[in-house]
Amino acid sequence: MEPGNDTRISEFLLWAFSEESELKSLLFGLFLSMYLTTFFGNLLIILATITDSHLHTPMYFFLSNLSFIDICLSSTTVPKMLVNIQTQIRVITYEGCITQMYFFLLFGGLDDFLLAVMAYDRFVAICHPLHYTVIMNSQLCVILVLGSWILSALHSLLHSLMVLQLSFCTHFEIPHFFCDLDQMVRLSCSNTFINNVVMYIATGLLVFGPFTGIIYSYSKIFSSVRVISSVQGKYKAFSTCVSHLSVVSLFYCTLIGVYLSSTALPNPHSSAAASVMYTVITPMLNPFIYSLRNKEMLGALKRFFVSEVIPVSFVLQQRKCL
């Protein structure tokens, strides 16, 4: 890593998906529909948890934060990708690229931390049910979410500042649909040894730290559920974890898939295609997982539509009649 930029660049080219001009309409429609589903699906989760007093619990407080982060994560990359596909203009400014990379790392890290926090919440609820309200008080919930924001912000700031010190000489084409940290480091003509070391250490701590916490929490949960005598009691205890386990499995499986595709396949476009899983598809599926397998959430969504959406449509109909 060198102390500064020898060559001052003004823009990069995002190359993934854009060259498939014959598939432009199909790709644009597909990604637009997925983005809108992600946006409105997660927005409904947030509105349901805010408006329904039955969901004013730590679990749904964390879920609403996860939904907000999923909206932000998709909004960091997908709108720019849609513009690139539709207009075939692949340019992103140097400042825009650094900004996009920062926020992608921020919200991706927050996803990771919040999944660990939600696993801890389920651990306390199942393993220490009598002390749940005392342990998971509102102050601790806010501290856990705020701590996740601070750690993730520091992580993304570290990488962004280190990338700002790199020089980019002649090759400005990023074979991805967003400014990925790994791809930007590879494009640099500086000595990137320190960047790579910091990137692997920080990413390892960021991924395996929360993942270890999730594994520990669920090992304790399974031990506690196993000693429950009644089948109904076991089912009730485990059913509260099914949605979270599904999201955790989806999140980490897609991350592993992206990592394996980037290391095993020499074509960088394969990594871009695999990245669609955790940047677009995973945030889109999360609301369905939490709503379709959760009776409380389904009930809250029904009450929300009955109390908010139907009265508004009725008022609009009355105005048309007048």
How many Cα atoms within 13 Å fall on the side-chain side of residue 282? 27
Residue among 306, 301, 236 at smallest CA distance from 60:
301
Architecture, CATH, for domain 11-297: Up-down Bundle (1.20)
**Cα-to-chain-centroid distance, residue 318:** 41
* Top-confidence residue, 107 or 270: 107
pLDDT of residue 8: 57
Residue 11, SS3?
strand
pLDDT of residue 39: 95
Radius of gyration of the chain (CA): 22
Mean of the pLDDT values across residues 180-206?
A: 86
Q: How far apart are CA 289 and CA 118, in angstroms?
A: 15
Residues 6+ apart with CB under 8 A from 295: none
Residue 92, SS3?
strand
* Top-confidence residue, 4 or 135: 135
**Cα-to-chain-centroid distance, residue 281:** 10
pLDDT of residue 98: 93
Domains of the chain, residue spans: 11-297
> What confidence category does residue 268 fall into, taking pLDDT thresholds of 50, 70 and 90?
low
pLDDT averaged over the chain?
A: 83
- Look at residue 309 and tell me whether its pLDDT is greater than 70: no
* Top-confidence residue, 215 or 189: 215
Mean of the pLDDT values across residues 133-140?
A: 94
Mean of the pLDDT values across residues 97-120?
A: 94
- Look at residue 160 and tell me whether its pLDDT is greater than 60: yes
**Please, where are the H alpha helices in 88-188?**
94-127, 132-135, 138-164, 181-187
Lowest-pLDDT range of 102-111, 117-126, 244-253, 288-297: 288-297
Mean of the pLDDT values across residues 232-255?
A: 80
- Look at residue 174 and tell me whether its pLDDT is greater than 90: no
- Can you read off the two tokens belonging to residue 82? 């849609």
> What confidence category does residue 90 fall into, taking pLDDT thresholds of 50, 70 and 90?
confident
- As a whole-number percent, the residues of the chain with pLDDT over 90 amount to 36
- Look at residue 41 and tell me whether its pLDDT is greater than 50: yes
pLDDT of residue 138: 93
Pairing of strands 173-174, 11-14: parallel
> What confidence category does residue 315 fall into, taking pLDDT thresholds of 50, 70 and 90?
very low
Pairing of strands 11-14, 91-93: antiparallel
What is the pTM for the complete model shown?
0.87
- Look at residue 306 and tell me whether its pLDDT is greater than 60: yes
Q: What are the backbone dihedrals phi and psi of residue 12, each rounded to the nearest 5 degrees, phi first?
A: -120, 165
- Neighbouring CB atoms inside 10 A of 114's CB total 24
- Look at residue 287 and tell me whether its pLDDT is greater than 70: yes
> What confidence category does residue 132 fall into, taking pLDDT thresholds of 50, 70 and 90?
very high
pLDDT of residue 299: 75
Mean of the pLDDT values across residues 17-45?
A: 84
Q: How far apart are CA 215 and CA 308, in angstroms?
A: 40
Mean of the pLDDT values across residues 196-220?
A: 89
